[in-house]
C-alpha cells in the first residue's frame, strides 16, 4: 500500500463527525457546547471524557488520553494511522488514492523504505542461495542456533557479503540514488565521493515498522570481527527509541494475550516465537525507553522485561522503573499497563533457556514475573546494611524514590506498607519520606552520550521548574498572539526538559495555527506530542486569561534561570581563595551582585499589577 495524500486525509476528516463516531459505542450527553461521557479507554462511573465539536478533538481527564478522530479509532481498534484513515474512509464511503501503490514510490520517506526493502531482498537471497564461504558460514551459524532455512525465510534473515560495495552496486543498478542509500544508512559515503556498504560479512536482521515495512537493519558479524553487533543509525524513517524488533509480527499476539515480553536480542525474539511464544519484541541496541513503553501500552495490559540477571540487565530494569507513572496504578482503570520483571536463572539468555527447558517453562517464568516496582525496591534495599540505623535511613530514602511518580495512589500505599515491613518501621514514617521524594526524569539517549563522552550531567528539573515549563506549553498552545514573544524562552537556559523544548519549538513554528489546525501541524511531526495538547485544546479558556498567565510563567522561568546562574557563580566563588585569587574573586563577586539585582528587579516587576501599584 502507498502513501495517502494530505488532501484525502482532510476529506476523510471532514466527512467524519467525531460525536457521531464516538456515540456508536459511548453514551454522550451535551453540557453547554461540549459532549460528555464515560471514557471507553478506562473504567469510570463519573464521566470525564469530553468532546469539543468546535475543534473536533477529545480528551479524558481521568486517564489523560486525547486526540482527534484518527487517534480515537487508532486506540479503539488498535490500528496504525494509515489503517485508521482507511477504516474511516470505508465508513464514509470515500475512495482514497494511495500514491506509489504500484511501481516505485515517489515520496522521500517512501523511497528510503523502498531502498531498505530492496536491501533486505538482496541480503536474503545471499543467505539462502549464496555460494560464498561467508554465506555458507552464516548458514552454519544459524543452523547451530536451530535456525534452519525455513526459519530464515519466515524471518527474512539475510547475509551481507564481504565485498564492501556489492549491495550498493546492486541497488544503484535498480535505480536508487547514492543520496537515498546514504540517507537510509545502508551505504556509507567515504572520501572523494566514493561509497561502500555499511554492512558486510554479517548475518542481517531486517527491522520493520508496525506495517511490516523494512526501515533498518541489525547485523551480527560472521566469525571474528568488531563490533559483534552493528545496528542502523537513526534515519528519517528509523528511531531506535520508538521502534522494536518483531513488533509487526508480535502485535496481534500481544493484543490476544494482553502481555508483551521485552528481550534484548533479535535471536531471542525468533527463538521464543518459533517455540510458540509470539508476543515477544526486542529493543534495538538501547535500553527500554518511555516511548517503547507507550508503544507497547497501545496493545498490552502488561509489559514483562525478560533478562538474564547480570549487572547490565539489572541496570536496564532500574531505568525502566523511571517510566512508571499513573498508567501503572489501579486508578488508571482499563488504561492501566503493569510493568514486570522476569529473571532467567543461571545466567542463561532467553534463546538458550527456551531451547533447553522448552516453551512450558518459559511461559511459567513469564507468568510469574515480579512487579517491576517490587523488583527495584528490593534491589535498592539490598544495597544497604539494614542492621544499622544509618543503613536503614539511607535505604528508606532510596526505596521510596521509585514511588514518587505514583504518590497518592493505591499502588503507592501498598508499597509504603511493604517498605515499612522490610525496614521494621511504621507506614507513617515511610509516607513522610515519600512526601519529600521527587520524580527524576530519565536522560535522553543524546544526554547519556554526552555524559559518557564529557562527564556533563543533564540539569536536574525540580517540580516548580517542570510545572512552569508545562504552563508555558499550555499558554503558547492556546494563545497564538504570544508565540513571537515566547521565542525568547526557546533555549536550554529557560526550558530544561528536552522533549518539552522540542514541542515548544514545533508550536512556535506553527505560526498562528490554533485548535484543530495546530493539532494537525504537530501531528505531522509526532502524533503522541499532538495528543498531549488535547487536554488544553478541548474547551480552551479565553485568550485574555492565557496572555496574563504567560506573563507570569515567563517571569518565573526567567527567575529560575537567574537562580541557577547565581548558584553556579557562588559555587565558583567558594572554589576561589579571596586573597590568593583576589582579581578573579572580585570579578566573580561583582557578577553575582549584578545577577542578584536583576533577579530582585524581576521579582518586583512580577508583583506589580497593570495599574502600576505595587502589592
What fold characterizes domain 3-99?
Answer: DNA Primase; Chain A (3.90.580)
Expressed in percent and rounded to 5, the helix, strand and coil fractions of the chain are 55, 10, 35
pLDDT tens digits along 9-51: 999 999 999 999 999 888 999 998 899 998 888 767 788 899 9
Task: Give mean pLDDT, residues 495-505.
Answer: 89
pLDDT tens digits along 152-163: 999 999 999 988
Pick 613 or 489 by higher pLDDT.
489
pLDDT tens digits along 265-283: 899 999 999 999 999 999 9
Q: What sign does the CA torsion over 17, 20, 23, 25 have?
A: negative
| Residue 2 pLDDT grade (very low, low, confident, very high; cuts 50, 70, 90) | low
What CA–CA distance (Å, rounded) separates 612 from 605? Answer: 9
Using DSSP, how many helices (H) and how many strands (E) does the chain show?
Answer: 28, 18
- Given CATH 3.40.1190.20, say whether it is the number of domain 242-377: no
| Residue 125 pLDDT grade (very low, low, confident, very high; cuts 50, 70, 90) | very high
What percent of the chain is modeled with pLDDT above 70?
A: 87
Residues constituting the chain = 615
φ/ψ region of 612 (left if φ > 0, alpha if ψ in -120 to 50, else beta) reads left
What is the average pLDDT value for the chain, to the nearest integer?
Answer: 85
Q: Say whether pLDDT at 347 is over 70.
A: yes
Say if strands 66-67 and 187-189 run parallel, antiparallel, or are unpaired. unpaired
For the chain, give every residue range classified as CATH 3.90.980.10. Answer: 108-238
Contacts of 69 (CB under 8 A, 6+ apart): 13, 16, 18, 21, 56, 88
pLDDT value of position 611 = 44
Cα→Cα distances 31→41, 42, 47, 62, Å: 21, 21, 12, 18
What CA–CA distance (Å, rounded) separates 56 from 36? Answer: 13
Give me the residues paired with residue 221 across strands.
Answer: 202
pLDDT value of position 460 = 56
pTM: 0.62
For the chain, give every residue range classified as CATH 3.40.1360.10. Answer: 242-377
Cα→Cα distances 251→1, 43, 119, 327, Å: 19, 24, 24, 20
pLDDT tens digits along 101-122: 544 344 677 889 999 999 999 9
- Given CATH 3.40.50.300, say whether it is the number of domain 108-238: no
For the chain, give every residue range classified as CATH 3.90.580.10. Answer: 3-99
| Residue 452 pLDDT grade (very low, low, confident, very high; cuts 50, 70, 90) | very low
Which candidate, 71, 61, 81, 62, places its Cα nearest to that of 22? 71
pLDDT value of position 388 = 92
By the 8 A CB rule, do 605 and 599 touch? no
Q: Say whether pLDDT at 416 is over 90.
A: yes
Amino acid at each position: 500500500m502507498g502513501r495517502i495524500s494530505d488532501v484525502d486525509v482532510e476529506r476523510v476528516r471532514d466527512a467524519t463527525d467525531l460525536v457521531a463516531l464516538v456515540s456508536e459505542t459511548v453514551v454522550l450527553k451535551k453540557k453547554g457546547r461540549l459532549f460528555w461521557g464515560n471514557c471507553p479507554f478506562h473504567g469510570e462511573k463519573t464521566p470525564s471524557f469530553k468532546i469539543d465539536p468546535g475543534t473536533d478533538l477529545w480528551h479524558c481527564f481521568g486517564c489523560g488520553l486525547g486526540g482527534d478522530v484518527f487517534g480515537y479509532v487508532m486506540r479503539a481498534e488498535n490500528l496504525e494511522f494509515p489503517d485508521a484513515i482507511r477504516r474511516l474512509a470505508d465508513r464514509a464511503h470515500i475512495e482514497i488514492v494511495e500514491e506509489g501503490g504500484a511501481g516505485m514510490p515517489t515520496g522521500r520517506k517512501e523511497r528510503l523504505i523502498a531502498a531498505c526493502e530492496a536491501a533486505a531482498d538482496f541480503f536474503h537471497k545471499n543467505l539462502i542461495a549464496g555460494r560464498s564461504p561467508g554465506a555458507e558460514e552464516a548458514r552454519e551459524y544459524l543452523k547451530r542456533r536451530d535456525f534452519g532455512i525455513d526459519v530464515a525465510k519466515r524471518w527474512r534473515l539475510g547475509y551481507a557479503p564481504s565485498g564492501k560495495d556489492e549491495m550498493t552496486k546492486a541497488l544503484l543498478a535498480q535505480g536508487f540514488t547514492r543520496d537515498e542509500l546514504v540517507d537510509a544508512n545502508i551505504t556509507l559515503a567515504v572520501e572523494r565521493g566514493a561509497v561502500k556498504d555499511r554492512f558486510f560479512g554479517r548475518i542481517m536482521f531486517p527491522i520493520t515498522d508496525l506495517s511490516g515495512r523494512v526501515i533498518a537493519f541489525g547485523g551480527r558479524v560472521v566469525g571474528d570481527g568488531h563490533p559483534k553487533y552493528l545496528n542502523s543509525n537513526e534515519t528519517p524513517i528509523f528511531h531506535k527509541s520508538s521502534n522494536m524488533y518483531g513488533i509487526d509480527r508480535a502485535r496481534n499476539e500481544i493484543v490476544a494475550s494482553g502481555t508483551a515480553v521485552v528481550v534484548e536480542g533479535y535471536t531471542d525474539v525468533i527463538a521464543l516465537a518459533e517455540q510458540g511464544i509470539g508476543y515477544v519484541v526486542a529493543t534495538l541496541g538501547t535500553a527500554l525507553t518511555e516511548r517503547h513503553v507507550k508503544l507497547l501500552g497501545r496493545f498490552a495490559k502488561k509489559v514483562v522485561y525478560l533478562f538474564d540477571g547480570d549487572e547490565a540487565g539489572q541496570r536496564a530494569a532500574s531505568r525502566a522503573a523511571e517510566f512508571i507513572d499513573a498508567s501503572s496504578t489501579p486508578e488508571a482503570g482499563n488504561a492501566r499497563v503493569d510493568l514486570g520483571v522476569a529473571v532467567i536463572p543461571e545466567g542463561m539468555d532467553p534463546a538458550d533457556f527456551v531451547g533447553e527447558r522448552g516453551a512450558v517453562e518459559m511461559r511459567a517464568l513469564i507468568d510469574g514475573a515480579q512487579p517491576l516496582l517490587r523488583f527495584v525496591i528490593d534491589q535498592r534495599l539490598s544495597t544497604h546494611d539494614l542492621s544499622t540505623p544509618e543503613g536503614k535511613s539511607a535505604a528508606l530514602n532510596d526505596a521510596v524514590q521509585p514511588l514518587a511518580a505514583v504518590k497518592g495512589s493505591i499502588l503507592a500505599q501498598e508499597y509504603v506498607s511493604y517498605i515499612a515491613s522490610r525496614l521494621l518501621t511504621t507506614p507513617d514514617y515511610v509516607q513522610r519520606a515519600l512526601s519529600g521524594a521527587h520524580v527524576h526524569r530519565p536522560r535522553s539517549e543524546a544526554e547519556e552520550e554526552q555524559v559518557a563522552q564529557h562527564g556533563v550531567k543533564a540539569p536536574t528539573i525540580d517540580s516548580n521548574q517542570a510545572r512552569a515549563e508545562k504552563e508555558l506549553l499550555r499558554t503558547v498552545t492556546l494563545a497564538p498572539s504570544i508565540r513571537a514573544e515566547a521565542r525568547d524562552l526557546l533555549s536550554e537556559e529557560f526550558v530544561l526538559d528536552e522533549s518539552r523544548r522540542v514541542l515548544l519549538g514545533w508550536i512556535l513554528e506553527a505560526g498562528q495555527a490554533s485548535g484543530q489546525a495546530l493539532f494537525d501541524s504537530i501531528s505531522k511531526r509526532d502524533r503522541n506530542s499532538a495528543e498531549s495538547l488535547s487536554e488544553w485544546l478541548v474547551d480552551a479558556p479565553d485568550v485574555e486569561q492565557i496572555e496574563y498567565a504567560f506573563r507570569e510563567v515567563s517571569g518565573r522561568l526567567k527567575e529560575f534561570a537567574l537562580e541557577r546562574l547565581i548558584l553556579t557563580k557562588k559555587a565558583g566563588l567558594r572554589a576561589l581563595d579571596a586573597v590568593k585569587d583576589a582579581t578573579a574573586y572580585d570579578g566573580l563577586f561583582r557578577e553575582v551582585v549584578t545577577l542578584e539585582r536583576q533577579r530582585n528587579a524581576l521579582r518586583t516587576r512580577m508583583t506589580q499589577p497593570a495599574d502600576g501599584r505595587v502589592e
